[in-house]
Structure 1
């Protein structure tokens, strides 16, 4: 099934959004910030920090990760079914357990999510069905008679198992962000990213992928499975050669290429575009935001030159690959034998965890409504909204005090900040799932029905006004996001738990943990891509040339630091890919630190356990990012993920924060010391 999220990845890294923000036109003082008073017992330790994780033999300026979390690193093993472990993963596990308690409760027996969960756990029924449900879908591919019909089938995979060379979905128009238009871009790869097809460090994964394709073809009765697998891999290698590098795909200036349907057909001949869009149920469009335009043109040419039999083999494999998690053990194990090489895990996740993942994917907001009622107390929402307000005020002050930004640009930035909407915990309105049919007996039918139901729901936004109240994350998700052209930021209930947030924790801890996450999402509106989007969400350059030049200069200083970070031997952080997230991490620390000090109302923070308020702030930040990961997972991350590995998210920003140096007496000669004049001064 073609993922809408993959097509919107670039857009969601560009902005923020939610409810009305306070006026920010005037200077603020400490009196404008409400101090968050601790009135209950923190869930971790006495005040929110776990001091047992530290390694006090490490000097903070040499290895701050070890100083903050070294004891935890030493005593923690990565579970066999995980690619990594750490604060995010651990809280994700807790969220899964919380959802399991909801879906297995007696009261959930007749709910859609309760039935879906039970059909996933009914291994005996899945084994009895074998691959028979899949073969019905395979038969549809095998019956395709010509390339026009195949183009129509590719278009239809937006709501079913299968793949396509192109794909997309509705999102805000870059020129008129109040309306949804079609965003459209490259697709077609089975490995995580184009580098996997060429880079020698991924030879093991390529070999495992080819073996997996061959096993799949044997399972579904394809003649000459070994030769056919080679043919599919060779075709995808051509697709990879024509695809854009991932760093280019996050550049809003490069991916903003508006065309009409007729212009797209003229620009990229080689495929029957009318048939393709008929398959997707999309009428001719006056405006399509074409992303990787030159790649789409080249892929259309590749389509024209590729024989139909090869295309059908490629499609059959992807139908089976996407369906395999919902089939018998043979298919599940075969898929895992391949995917485990991408992450380095040695054991399949327990079936109940995979079942919960499926529930969250298929019925996320439905179970999310129950999740919020059970696990998100009103006090958490109130305290979180206070934190957000203080972070926005601190960001406004930082914009005003910025010495490289001109007055006109500052005014535009403050307008954008004022209009940022903020959503905390859950959407104002939950989705209605009444039209979705859930079978009490067939897992395959349930997944197929949910896929179509959710895809149709997403596609129904095309040509309609943007509904900024809709979320692209479930309330139970342990994450947060910036809404790009919607100019909003969203903080689901799932992440608003310890160690990220505790309404009864020490303010220094909350500001150092969730406060930095809030600052991170705010600052996405002003990172290397967000700065290209104005207060209303339109893509335009609202910076003066002088401001842009100064920003780029400081960003290069910052990027050069990250380019030297080696995640595993031979695999370095890509500063072009990670620049937006790295800038957001740095700004998040700076803005959260300012907001924390404003919250003190001019008073000194108490010293607790021998730690100053600043020290607790930075320790909380480091403990949020503590992590251990497998080598294959880290190689994948630096190749595919716009976020730097966690240990570099810990130290990368702090090396440019003066207050960190003062808090821990970091001096010249320490390994992570940077002279003041060489530190990045972006925000």
Structure 2
């Protein structure tokens, strides 16, 4: 399951390396509740979201059929029932905003005892974190419940759940049947969009970066954002334009330095620290001075 999160963001628990809330000088490994395909636990539990939940089950069925999963209709119901139990055990958005409540450091051994029923060492190992000794769990009271739900759920349901989420994450980049089903749920039902972007626009966004409107995995940064940026810069951003903007920013930094030195309300020690901070700034405007070489990359339509 750790591998699924690493590759497909599909897991009962999500994780990330972030600045330690109690010690900003260090980074920490955070574990959080996960496992839901709908935007929030309320979509599973509140009557006003019954339409969206029903559409979600239809979508799960469609994707399982598209990947030729056995007994797709029955397994789709199992998947949604499983996620409903996960939602019941999960914290609300309001509870997650309590910074003290979501800071619960412990060792991996302590986590295994605290939330038995889930193979934590196996999960962290397949996530390439097998040397980890300390974690910070967020929704503390949810972890034992989620681990217990996982342990008591039939294997065929867990397998179908994984298969669906892997297909869901890949759907925006697959054939028309997948992209149409994906947009019907994520675009129309959940986001209120009326029309899907043309395929060529979605393809460009996937490569260059941005967002084609329904939360694709690669949209924000793009699979080859720097490569597309090189082509754009070569055509529309000549070297003299970059030199001008760099000169402008350099003059701006010089103006900052002059103003700091002349401030009458700032003592000498504070001025020195402010100037040291100014010296740490790195000017990055236009495009990078050094970029990746894509000349040997071979792109094939059938790849």
The TM-score range, normalised by the shorter chain, is 0.7 to 0.9
**Judging changes above 3 Å, is the alpha-carbon distance between structure 1 residues 382 and 208 closer, same or farther for their aligned structure 2 residues?**
farther
1:282 matched to 2:129? The reply is yes
Which residue of structure 2 aligns with residue 320 of structure 1? Answer: 167
For these two proteins, the number of residue pairs brought into alignment is: 267
- How many angstroms apart in 1 are the aligned matches of 2:285 and 2:46? 41
1:329 aligned partner? 176
SS of 2:101's equivalent?
helix
SS of residue paired to 1:270? coil
| Residue 174 of structure 1: how far off its partner (Å) | 3.4
Q: Which residue is 1:148 aligned to?
A: none
Distance 1:173 1:433 in 2: 36
> How many Å apart are 1:188 and its aligned residue?
1.0
Question: What corresponds to 2:191 in structure 1?
Answer: 343
Can you give the 5+ residue segments of structure 2 that lack an aligned partner in the other structure? Answer: 210-221
Quote how far apart the aligned CAs of 1:270 are: 1.1
Change (3 A) 1:312 1:350: same
In the other structure, the counterpart of 1:201 is 48
Structure 1 residues 383 and 267: CA distance shift in structure 2, 3 A: farther
- Cα distance in 2, alignment partners of residues 350 and 234 from structure 1: 34
The answer to whether the 8 A contact 1:261-1:284 is kept is no
Correspondence for 1:364 = 225
Q: 2:18, 2:27 within 8 Å by CA — same for their partners in 1?
A: yes
- Determine helix, strand or coil for the equivalent of 1:183: strand
Asked if 1:181 corresponds to 2:28, the answer is: yes
Determine helix, strand or coil for the equivalent of 1:171.
strand
Indicate the residue corresponding to 1:237 in structure 2. Answer: 84
Instruction: Give, in whole Å, the separation in 1 of the partners of 2:223 and 2:96.
Output: 27
Spell out the pairing of 1:490-509 with structure 2 (5 A cutoff): none
Secondary structure of residue in 1 paired with 2:37: coil
Shift of 1:348: 1.3
Aligned partners of 2:31 and 2:138 also within 8 Å: yes
Q: Show the counterpart of 1:226.
A: 73
The equivalent position to 1:306 in structure 2, one of 153, 156, 159, is 153
Distance 2:290 2:25 in 1: 21
Matched, 1:441 2:301: yes
User: Structure 1, residues 375-402: CA drift from partner, whole Å, max 9, x if none?
Assistant: 5845556667849x98xx9xxx9xx9xx
Q: Counterpart of 2:79 in 1: which secondary structure?
A: helix
The 1:441–1:155 alpha-carbon spacing in structure 2 relative to 1, beyond 3 Å, is same
CA deviation after TM superposition for structure 1 residue 210, in Å: 0.9
Residue pair 2:19, 2:26 contacting (<8 A) in 1 also: yes
Q: Which residue of 1 aligns with 2:215?
A: none
Give the drift of 1:334.
Answer: 1.6
Distance change in 2, residues 1:226/1:182 (3 Å): same
For 1:166 and 1:349, how far apart are their aligned partners in 2? 32
Residues 421 and 342 (structure 1), Cα distance of their counterparts in 2 relative to 1, 3 Å cut: farther
1:246 corresponds in structure 2 to 93
Distance in structure 1 (CA, Å) of the matches to 2:201 and 2:191: 17
State the distance in 1 between where 2:300 and 2:137 align.
Answer: 41
User: Partners of 1:251 and 1:286 in 2: how far apart?
Assistant: 25
Aligned to 2:64: 217
For the residues of structure 1 that align with 2:225 and 2:30, how far apart are their CA atoms? 24
The DSSP-based 3-state class of the residue aligned with 2:130 is: coil
Contact 1:372–1:425 (CA<8 Å) still a contact in 2?
Answer: no
Give the 4+ runs in structure 1 shifted more than 4 A: 368-387, 418-434, 436-439
Aligned residues of 1:369 and 1:430 also touching (Cα < 8 A):
no
Query: Paired residue for 2:212?
Result: none
Deviations 1:391-415 (A, max 9, x none): xx9xxx9xx9xxxxxxxxxx9xx99
Contact 1:244 1:292 in 2 (8 A): yes
Q: What is the TM-score when the length of structure 1 is the normalising length?
A: 0.35
CA distance in 2, matches of 1:268, 1:433: 47
Deviation at 1:349, TM superposition (A): 0.7
Q: Give me the whole-angstrom Cα distance separating, in 2, the residues matched to 1:184 and 1:442.
A: 38
**3-state SS in 1 of match to 2:190:** helix
How far is the alpha carbon of 1:184 from its aligned partner?
Answer: 1.7
Distance 2:26 2:8 in 1: 29
Other-structure match for 2:8: 161
CA, structure 1 residues 429+281, in 2 after alignment: closer, same or farther (shift >3 Å)? Answer: farther
Deviations 1:153-175, CA, capped at 9 Å, x for gaps? x1111342361101212223334
Name 1:266's counterpart in structure 2.
113
Identify if the C-alpha distance between structure 1 residues 337 and 272 changes in structure 2 by more than 3 Å, giving closer, same or farther: same
The answer to whether the aligner puts 1:295 opposite 2:142 as a matched pair is: yes
Instruction: Give the drift of 1:259.
Output: 1.8
Describe the superposition over 1:30-89 as per-residue Cα deviations: whole angstroms up to 9, x where unpaired. xxxxxxxxxxxxxxxxxxxxxxxxxxxxxxxxxxxxxxxxxxxxxxxxxxxxxxxxxxxx
TM-score, normalising length: structure 2: 0.74
Question: 1:262 and 1:284, CA in 2 relative to 1: closer, same or farther beyond 3 A?
Answer: farther
Q: Partners in 2 of 1:223 and 1:265 — Cα distance?
A: 33
